Amino acid sequence: MTVETGRPTGQPAPKSAADPSPAARSPAADAPSSQVAPPQTRRLLGRAALGRAGRAALLATGRPPVPDAIEPIVQVHRRHHPGADLALLGRAYRLAEASHRGQKRKSGEPYITHPLAVTLILAQLGAETTTLVASLLHDTVEDTEVTLDQVAADFGPEVAYLVDGVTKLEKVDFGAAAEAETFRKMLVATGDDVRVMVIKLADRLHNMRTIRHMKPASQVRIAKVTRDVLIPLAERLGIQVVKTELEDIVFATLHPEEYARTTALIAAGEPAMAGLFEPFARVLGRQLAESGVPAEVSVRPRHGVSVHRVLLRRGEGGRAGAAHPADLGRLLVVVEEPADCYAVLGELHTCWTPLPGEFKDFVAAPKFNLYQSLHTAVSVDGTVIEVLVRTPRMHRVAEFGVVALGSPQAVGEPGGREEADGTDPARPGWLSRLLEWQQETPDPDAFWSTLTADLSDDREITAVTEEGATLVLPSGASCVDAAYQLGEEIGHRCIGARVNGRLVALSTTLADGDVLGILTEPPGRPGGPEPSGPSPQWLDHARTPGARIAIERWLAGHPAEPAGPAEPAPPAEPPARAQPVRPARTPGGRARLVIAPGHPGAAVRLARCCTPVPPDRVTGFHVRGGSIAVHRADCPTGERMRGDGRGPVQLEWSPDAAAPSDRAPAGFRVTLQAEALNRPGLLADLTAAMSATGLDIVSAVVEPPEQLRVRHTYTVELPDAATLPVVMRAMLRVSGVYDVRRPGLEAPRPPRLRPHPRSAANADDQGAAHVRPSWGMRERSTPLDPVDGAEDRR
């Protein structure tokens, strides 16, 4: 497929030889009929005389003549830009022709044919005059005696900037790094003016068209660079007509046998494809006309690489399968207004059976390269046919990408892009991100490998943050990539993520349309401690160069940091800053906490399995030695004892047990479990927060993390029952902790970040009058203020 294949909808048809442009008409064409020379006079003039008369008439109109060599370029250029400055094009051609005179290409043709062909490609894309002038001169500074200062003096700094942007760096100066540094230079220049890369793509397209004149080794090298860098860049700029032709030439160069087989399948299937698509196109056209939707319906054949990919998906073992006529093309429907796109969609889905999962709306949500269309697939007599729906402007942008948006400097000018367009062809978002990370990779080899890896997958996804920001990420990106795209500081403080309302690991791969929430540590105060930062394991999940570079830079600056959240943490004792642990009190010392009516002399001890604390509802069971074990009313161990036939003993708390008092015996041993997102320093932060409330930590056990989640189990000695809600609130305030519970009541449930609604069971809790139970944690009957608890968990 070449650039000239097909005419974009909405563009005027090219003038035929029978309808010459006004500037090219002979004087006899515009003269009154009485002044037209008779046929015998015209024959006597001869071709030379007519040519001189035509040039004289052209001068009489005030337009300077243009060289015959650029006449095809001028004719194409006038269709897109009727008021173009042709004199500037003529001057640029004369300088290029004089500079390249005597130079030959590998094919043996004069070298001037190359800039002429590149300029014609750009004219067919609709590029404006400045781009065409720079294209004619793009090799003069590199291959001739013309200097950049001379170009700037004769044609202005804008043209000189474009020419400099596409000029290669010398191998004499850069050696083996010349190619990588040349692309770096072009990308940096493209960041200021995207037309630099547009000229480079047209230059590479013509070189690929004539690649057969190169040596076989050079053909393979150039084709691979085109495949790895230039084709993805053409895709990102949205210039599909260039991208598809480059793909087919690279396919033919690197895989000639498969290319020949694919083209043979396409040629053999064209009659069947026409027999399938054309009748359906006529039926759809009539249906839309009857519905009052003006539309142009046409068959759009697939190019070679596209057909090959379809066949590979259908085949097995990496071999292409059999071709079906529906694989060779799609139906294109062009309508007048965006609203008509959805009217066409309604007719398609009403009259034919749509395939679930095949509808994609790129009109409301354009792709990263500005592409807009509705995609759907319907079943027609048992055959699936893909249909594209778009407007004429969408079609031009889909074919010619940023070139169809006009000059970056032409905002608000006639023919330029509109200010309300919302696009920035001079600085696409993906290009801004690429320019940011390339500054961090001064090594040419590292830059080249990172560039090819970044461009290796031309698919991208769009995720939306819970705050409403839109993130465009490469396919396969993880939550780590999303965190660093929001900012390096957010990435360093990231401790977890929530996707579509569910807590997930940072390694989770994002899908198109996901709603993402990044959980971070609280920002530090100026001069305060640094954030915990990333771990080395994050590099395994980072897909984008920006995230990888930021993580590597942090790790290089913090070599003594702990291993990271993915490394299992062994059972640990609390750090030295925790208060010394006092000896555990004997069960007899706690006897006065619980009153057992009818058993005045029995020893009473609090069970370790559920660690009851006032005002928990409790029950007792006789155990060996005649003592009574106090369990919480809903403790599973107590339920088993009741099931074994042990009669429960009615118990109640001592009036002095719930609040601190000089008369009440101090000391409640309680087990607490903290569910958290693992991170360096979590154990130290939790134990410090707990110790600050005045309790003693008896033991701490850290279970091996699973998908970056970890469970800490602490056994603590409380000075009084009122300390328990204070401790739990302090634990919840620690960065990364999303749930605190007292174990032993029920099987663990999936972690949650939002408070539970008040349940009927909680409403029946009987607590002390001065203590309100908590409804914000997974545990029931925790003496914690519900309002304060909800605020702590936000």
Residue 573 per-residue DSSP state: P
Which position has the higher pLDDT, 569 or 264?
Answer: 264
For the cut 80, the answer to whether the pLDDT of residue 82 exceeds it is: yes
Per-residue pLDDT, 378: 94
Mean pLDDT of 599-618: 72
Mean pLDDT of 16-33: 37
Query: Which amino acid would we find at residue 211?
Result: I
* Residue 608 near residue 638 (C-beta atoms within 8 A): no
Per-residue pLDDT, 599: 67
CA distance 87 to 201: 26
Which of 75-89, 609-623, 701-715 is least confident? 609-623
Which of 182-186, 506-510, 560-564, 631-635 is least confident? 560-564
Q: What angle do CA 671, 677, 682 make, to 5 degrees?
A: 65
For the cut 70, the answer to whether the pLDDT of residue 16 exceeds it is: no
Which residue pairs from 114-120 have beta carbons closer than 8 angstroms and sit at least 24 positions apart in sequence? 114/139, 114/206, 114/207, 115/139, 116/69, 116/70, 116/73, 117/206, 117/209, 118/199, 118/202, 118/203, 118/205, 118/206, 119/70, 119/73, 120/72, 120/73, 120/76
| Catalytic (active site) residue 143 | yes
Residues 6+ apart with CB under 8 A from 657: 593, 594, 614, 664, 721
Q: What are 631's strand-pairing partners?
A: 619
CA distance 457 to 478: 15
Q: How confident is the model at residue 619 (pLDDT cuts 50, 70, 90)?
A: confident
Which position has the higher pLDDT, 97 or 772?
Answer: 97
Catalytic residue among 30, 68, 97, 143: 143
For the cut 80, the answer to whether the pLDDT of residue 478 exceeds it is: yes
Tens digit of each residue's pLDDT (9 = 90 or more) over 332-354: 999 999 999 999 999 999 999 99
Catalytic residue among 85, 142, 158, 573: 142
* Residue 203 near residue 245 (C-beta atoms within 8 A): no
Question: Which of 375, 374, 378 has its CA nearest to residue 350?
Answer: 378
First to last CA, the chain: 57
* Residue 578 near residue 543 (C-beta atoms within 8 A): no
For the cut 80, the answer to whether the pLDDT of residue 615 exceeds it is: no
CA distance 415 to 526: 51
Query: Which amino acid would we find at residue 290?
Result: E
CA distance 258 to 222: 19
**Helical (H) or strand (E) element with 605:** strand 604-606
Q: How confident is the model at residue 590 (pLDDT cuts 50, 70, 90)?
A: very low
Token match 């046998």: residue?
Answer: 257
